[in-house]
Structure 1
Amino acid sequence: MNVTGVNWRKSTYSGGQGECLEIAAGLPPCSPVPIRDSKRPDGPHLLFSAPAWAAFLAAVRADRF
């Protein structure tokens, strides 16, 4: 997936030290979800399927980690 020109956003819970991940914003629903390290914006990114990302977020919200 080409992420050139994608808008990235950080969580509002991110600390000021740069220790966070960024998610590509504004992509169509059900498309892969690109994630990158905010300290390395030109570095590699990971792609998660929409269902896998939704399951991860549900687990975080349920405090399962």
Structure 2
Amino acid sequence: MTHTNAERSCCLWPQQLLDDPLDRSALATSVRDHLFASNPDGWAAYAATLRAQVPWFGEALPPMNNTLP
């Protein structure tokens, strides 16, 4: 992960959290694709941990995007 990917992801989250209705898939996909693009095992562990508090997080997402810079 580069700093640029982390910065992009962090910039998207606040706006996505304010969207009404919340696009759960877009929020989780943004986190996954920007912070875990080359680490599917890390994503699986992160999403599983979050699902303990947010049951819908990371469910039924499109395939992982490995083309980000």
TM over 0.5: no
Structure with bigger RCO (C-alpha 8 Å, 6+ apart): 2
Higher-Rg member (1/2): 1
The answer to which structure has the higher strand fraction is 1
The answer to which structure has the higher helix fraction is 2
TM-score computed with the length of structure 2 as normaliser = 0.30
